[in-house]
Structure 1
Amino acid sequence: MKNSRQHSTQEDRELTAFLQRHIDALLSSNSEPRPPCFHCGSVHVGIQGYRNALSGQRIPRFLCRTCNREFTRLHGTPLYGRHAQKMEALIPLLSQPISRAEVTAMLGIASMNIATKVKELRAWLLELDSTGKWETRVRLGGLPTAILPAQWQFEEAGAREDFELTRRLTAEFDEIHSTTGRAPACPYCASLKTYEQNRLPSQQFPAFRCTKCRKVFNRRTGTPFTLVRVKSLPRVRALIRYLSLPLPYSQLSEVFGVMDEQIMSWRELFEQVANRLQPDGSLSARIKLGVTPGPKTPCLFCARVGMARPFESRVWNCAGCGRLFSMRRVVVERSGRLEILNVHPDEAPDDALLDA
């Protein structure tokens, strides 16, 4: 009930009334005034009888005396071949900044069908009023339902995987988690007098003992990965390639099936590793994961720029349309390298790697 009340308060009743008035005219049983021929534009039109529209209304049929073709007032409009009731249910929602997924849940219409209907209604509004006054008041579905595609400009576009960062962090990760090789120096006393113990079946990694301080350890001891669970290691390693891309935690959390906080934690681990490899911070500075909106960041829903406002921790709202502000971007792999494209997530190519 709460959502229904919220949507109803955002309805543009003038837009709804404008469209409903024209729909009523299309479905009128009155044959006058006679419309020009839909096919050739001739005004020499006669009445050919009546027929039932899909929605059940009895509407007049017309016959063009110039091209000898039949038509109704519905030809060339969003109502042609459709049930008027379904279109009328959609109309009060047109002015509301809600997504196609929400409308799908409310009306039980497929998302792609909604996008098509909204685009057709936008085009019809421009035919009814060429000034665009009414068409610009349509907010349902955001820019993905716009007639003309938006010219997106993402600051993150063109960002590519940093091969040097990926190489060094992957090599360090693999060395720390190696199950072969000579015994490393003791992480407690730095002695090189260490040896490998007989591995127990329950041990995931080889254990070593220091003959100087007598302590037992493995290659992960004393590293940022000491407490990382073994079952998480494949995902942690896979994250390395994305560290140099300016992406939000939420996008990677869905890809790897973990919470945002977990992605943040793994990022911090690799930042520590990078600083151990390069104490001056030059290597960790290459990590870009965890981007937040800036003054030039467009809203993916309404395309307004610089409208992101803090809402909760790591969550922003768009001050323009009221929607949650998303930093999701389209990532592809080209010639073995990850890259962010300058396209809207709804227009992602088939080879996109991340479900933006």
Structure 2
Amino acid sequence: MKGEVVLRALRRILATPEEIIVRKASTLVPPKCPNCGSSSFVKIGGVIKANGLRIQRFRCKVCGRTFTELEGTPLKGLHDIRFALVVAYLFICLKMEPRTIAKVTERSCLTVRRLVARVKENEKFFKGLLASLGVTLGTGCYSR
């Protein structure tokens, strides 16, 4: 039974378009200017990443600084957002060690350790993001 729940959760993470993950992340941490902290800004287009993901850009009305909707979130600077969520799920909900996650996902141990460190620092954010995507493993995911 638990194996089915884990597979369902991983399928849900991997099937969710990154655009939806980004939008849910920006509802958890609403964009604000990293320079002055203002919430007064205008949309000025977007950045298209190498994988085709479009990230909204903003310009602060107060200081003029430009920034993206990922500014201030733990997802800023990540190349593969879905993989970060898989690592967060495996680490937080299943309590897997980074070395095991690296073996299971066939990714570099160093990459996985960096992601696990980011997940540890921002555990509340990742739990909220996983929950907003409907990914849970009962109470085990939230007992840590």
- Partner of residue 87, structure 2: 90
Aligned to 2:65: 69
Provide Cα deviations, 1:44-94, integer angstroms capped at 9, x if missing partner. 211111111344211210011222211112123232222223224334423
Output the amino acid matched with 2:82: Q
Is 1:58 paired with 2:54?
Answer: yes
Aligned residues: 123
Unaligned runs of 5+ in 2: 25-29, 129-135
Tell me what 1:42 maps to.
Answer: 38
Q: Which amino acid aligns with 1:62?
A: F
Per the alignment, do residues 55 and 38 of structure 1 end up closer, same or farther by CA in structure 2, a change over 3 Å counting?
farther
Query: For residues 64 and 8 of structure 2, what CA distance do their matches in structure 1 show?
Result: 42
Change (3 A) 1:107 1:50: same
Distance in 2 (alpha carbons) for counterparts of 1:119 and 1:12: 25
Write 1 or 2 for the structure with the bigger share of helix: 2
Separation in 1 of the partners of 2:125 and 2:88? 17
RMSD: 4.0
Q: Which has the larger radius of gyration?
A: 1
Alpha-carbon distance in structure 1 between the residues aligned to 2:35 and 2:7 = 36
Task: Tell me which residue corresponds to 2:98.
Answer: 100
Q: Alpha-carbon deviation of 1:108?
A: 2.6
1:7 positional shift: 5.5
Shift of 1:102: 1.9
The amino acid that maps onto 1:81 is: G
Residues 339-354 of structure 1 mapped to structure 2, 5 A cutoff: none
User: Could you say which structure has the greater relative contact order, defined with CA pairs below 8 angstroms and 6 or more residues apart?
Assistant: 2
Structure 1 runs not aligned, ≥5 long: 29-33, 140-301, 303-356
Structure 1 SS opposite 2:122: helix
Q: Return closer, same or farther for 1:110/1:26 CA change in 2, 3 Å cut-off.
A: same
Going from structure 1 to structure 2, the CA distance change for 1:108 and 1:25 (only over 3 Å counts) comes to closer
Q: Normalising by structure 2, report the TM-score.
A: 0.60
TM-score (norm 1): 0.28
CA offset digits 1:276-312 (Å, max 9, x no partner): xxxxxxxxxxxxxxxxxxxxxxxxxx9xxxxxxxxxx
CA separation of 1:75 and 1:56: change in aligned 2, threshold 3 A: same
Look up the SS of the partner of 1:90 in the other structure. Answer: helix
